[in-house]
Structure 1
Amino acid sequence: MTTFEQVFGQAPEVSASAPGRVNLLGEHTDYQGGFVLPTAIPQRATVGLRRNGTDTHVLYSANLDRTLHVPVGEVGEDFAPYLTGCLNLSGVTEGLNVHVTSEVPSGGLSSSAALEVATLRALRELYGLDLDNVALALRGVQVEHEFVGVQCGVMDQLASSLADTRTMLLIDTRSLERRAVPFPAGAEVLVMDSGVPRRLAESGYNERRAQVEAAAELLGVPQLRDVTDIAAVETLPSPLRERARHVVSENTRVLAGLEADAATFGQLMNATHASLRDDYEVSHPQVDELVALLQAQADVFGARITGAGFGGAVVALVREGTAVAVGEAVVVQYGTLGKVVVP
């Protein structure tokens, strides 16, 4: 890919990167104060910055081989809002040359959060911003809300800012308390791209968030995190009943997974996929096909769609040492759309 020096004729003043993430359990709970269990993936987004002495930001995406020119203080279009949102919220008043490259596939692996966190890390270094890693992640969430138009929760940016590839990160998205959790013994993670594209702002993501907020209001609780008896959701009208059932049961699955062995953890993942498919309705027929192929493999403990849904990636927990072989076998069965992302 084209480097910063090739595009701008000089080296960047600062450069920073951040990883994508895959979520093992705890999907669509983070905007209801719930529990999540992501881990970082090896693929990263990298952002280089250099002041250009003008009143215009020059934004270059090496992946797209595309350059955008956005006046300081404005937002721009295409991929610009992910970057200009970070610049504007950080008080940047001078033009910057910005070079972006990313190894994180789009669709379920938090490519946008990785881009935001990498940009904010670079800005923190360039301007000496007083942002710890949690505050930095929360600024990334603000970018999504105010500039991108996705009313996301806090998981993706927190995972990109705080998680590593060696453990899972349990996050209480209400208190922001977190702790590292080991992977189940004898298991490893396989991530595959279904080849089905999706864009959150054009999907039902914001609609789902509005539905669970309405469900919480009808149940008289601040958030569905506060529902302790899942039977309570059965009093709700459809589809609020199904949406709330997913969130409440998913929180239970995350907590059950903390001490689970690999087989039990895999069963929880399978149950999450069924809940996302049937109650939350954020899956896709081709994604369901890929998940079913993975679940049928002898060395797979469990598999599910990951991320916000409507396409994108799937994650499987597999017997240690078998991820490459399982992924290659399933790609053959699934066809040309699928590909192994991790390992």
Structure 2
Amino acid sequence: MYRDLFASEPSVVASAPGRVNLLGEHTDYNQGLVLPTPLPYQTVVEASATQGLEVYAENFQELKRRGLEEPKQGDWLDYLAGCLWVLRRRGYEVPGLRAYVRSQVPMGGGLSSSAALEVATLRALRELYGLPLDDLEIARLAQEAEVEYVGVRCGIMDQMASSVGRLGYGLLLDTRDLSTRLVPLPVGYRVAVVDSGVPRRLAESGYNTRRRECEEACARLGVSSLRELSMADLPRLEGLPGPLGRRARHVLTENTRVLEGVRALEEGDVGRFGELMLASHTSLRDDYEVSTPELDRLVEVELRHGAVGARLTGAGFGGATVALVEEARYEAFRQGVLEDYPKARFL
């Protein structure tokens, strides 16, 4: 803990959750609709003011120091340095941060460990230096730090879910204007996050490739983003070369699934919501081509053992699935999945 390492008490303690995405995958960087929900796993930052950066990461058992004028170094400290960088670029006086970081959010599973770290760090800095930042601005700054400092071309869904989401609710987020609505999740059901045991080794390169394909599809269709299109434009996609039409079709249909999913939840139609989760996975597998045989197998096993719906979550190319399961059937579901897919790891 902070006191043991730095021989003093932290001035502030801040935290932020990871998230899982229920519907709306690979739509956020296309100005589309998403429906994430926060998870009960937190990243905690115990912090005090100092000059420069001095941070111990419990998960890595590593202490790092860096001056604020030093360049990024391609390591985990970049995420905290980026938070200071973006605040200083906005004109805030933030001379530094001494912190002890611990996290329950699994890394590399598509559950937004980086966004949780950024949001928790910015919350700590907000309290330390009395910064006039609301939770929406925290999300904006966190994404800006990751995109422009760390260099990951992420959308804003992860940071929004971590900063303004609420446990027990889906967060309907329109990434075009950042408007949000909380949607209650069904009572008596559990959101199960299951790691496939396949590391997301190709996720970053595949993610960037899909972004470029969507941008090329927009250029050929004469629109600034795929959000400008509707389901009525589906026939136009058939004229696009290579995989571009399939990529655009996934985004269009996924936006529609998000809206239908919200309606199903609000009407208490859990079965319909589960069907939409499976349709999303099918589209990610066939049109967006980011699934793997292991993820497909895990989804099939989850459905066989009682999940109402299941799909891959995150960028794909490995990582985790999300399933919706009746609470009363959860233990039987869990045992059945582990028997049929021994590599599964329940979070």
From 246, 266, 281, give the equivalent of 1:273.
281
From 63, 69, 84, give the equivalent of 2:65.
69
- Determine the structure 2 residue equivalent to 1:291: 299
Question: Distance in 2 between the 1:281 and 1:70 partners?
Answer: 40
5+ residue gaps, structure 2: none
Determine if the alignment matches structure 1 residue 47 to structure 2 residue 45: yes
Q: Which amino acid aligns with 1:265?
A: F
Matches within 5 A, 1:119-198: 119-184=121-186, 186-198=188-200
- Determine the structure 2 residue equivalent to 1:78: 75
- Determine the structure 2 residue equivalent to 1:244: 248
- Determine the structure 2 residue equivalent to 1:14: 12
- Determine the structure 2 residue equivalent to 1:105: 106
Quickly say closer, same or farther: Cα 1:171–1:10, change in 2 above 3 A. Answer: same
Quickly say closer, same or farther: Cα 1:191–1:201, change in 2 above 3 A. Answer: closer
The answer on whether the counterparts of 1:192 and 1:327 sit within 8 Å (CA) in structure 2 is: no
Give the structure-1-normalised TM-score: 0.93
Question: Distance in 2 between the 1:163 and 1:23 partners?
Answer: 12
Question: Distance in 2 between the 1:19 and 1:324 partners?
Answer: 24
Partner deviation per Cα, 1:4-40 (whole Å, 9 max, x = no partner): 1122121211110001111110011011111111111
The answer on whether the counterparts of 1:39 and 1:164 sit within 8 Å (CA) in structure 2 is: yes
Partner deviation per Cα, 1:55-112 (whole Å, 9 max, x = no partner): x412211011012221123323320111100011122653432211100112211111
Partner deviation per Cα, 1:297-319 (whole Å, 9 max, x = no partner): 2x211100001112111100112
- Determine the structure 1 residue equivalent to 2:346: 340
Identity, in percent, stands at 52
Partner deviation per Cα, 1:131-183 (whole Å, 9 max, x = no partner): 11111101111111112221111111000001112111111111111111122
- Determine the structure 2 residue equivalent to 1:331: 338
- Determine the structure 1 residue equivalent to 2:237: 233
- In structure 2, the residue corresponding to 1:300 is in which secondary structure? coil
5+ residue gaps, structure 1: none
- In structure 2, the residue corresponding to 1:259 is in which secondary structure? helix
Question: Distance in 1 between the 2:197 and 2:60 partners?
Answer: 18
Deviation at 1:223, TM superposition (A): 1.1
Quickly say closer, same or farther: Cα 1:149–1:328, change in 2 above 3 A. Answer: farther
Q: Which amino acid aligns with 2:263?
A: E
RMSD: 1.7
The answer on whether the counterparts of 1:37 and 1:171 sit within 8 Å (CA) in structure 2 is: yes
- Determine the structure 2 residue equivalent to 1:259: 263
Q: Which amino acid aligns with 1:223?
A: S
- In structure 2, the residue corresponding to 1:246 is in which secondary structure? helix
Partner deviation per Cα, 1:204-224 (whole Å, 9 max, x = no partner): 111111111111121112211
Deviation at 1:236, TM superposition (A): 0.9
The answer on whether the counterparts of 1:21 and 1:109 sit within 8 Å (CA) in structure 2 is: yes
Quickly say closer, same or farther: Cα 1:325–1:6, change in 2 above 3 A. Answer: farther
- In structure 1, the residue corresponding to 2:47 is in which secondary structure? strand
Deviation at 1:232, TM superposition (A): 2.0
- Determine the structure 1 residue equivalent to 2:30: 32
Give the structure-2-normalised TM-score: 0.92
Question: Distance in 2 between the 1:329 and 1:163 partners?
Answer: 31
Q: Which amino acid aligns with 1:86?
A: C
- In structure 2, the residue corresponding to 1:118 is in which secondary structure? helix
The answer on whether the counterparts of 1:189 and 1:323 sit within 8 Å (CA) in structure 2 is: no
- In structure 2, the residue corresponding to 1:141 is in which secondary structure? helix
The answer on whether the counterparts of 2:84 and 2:96 sit within 8 Å (CA) in structure 1 is: no
Quickly say closer, same or farther: Cα 1:138–1:89, change in 2 above 3 A. Answer: same
- Determine the structure 1 residue equivalent to 2:312: 305
The answer on whether the counterparts of 1:190 and 1:327 sit within 8 Å (CA) in structure 2 is: no
- Determine the structure 2 residue equivalent to 1:96: 97
Quickly say closer, same or farther: Cα 1:23–1:167, change in 2 above 3 A. Answer: same
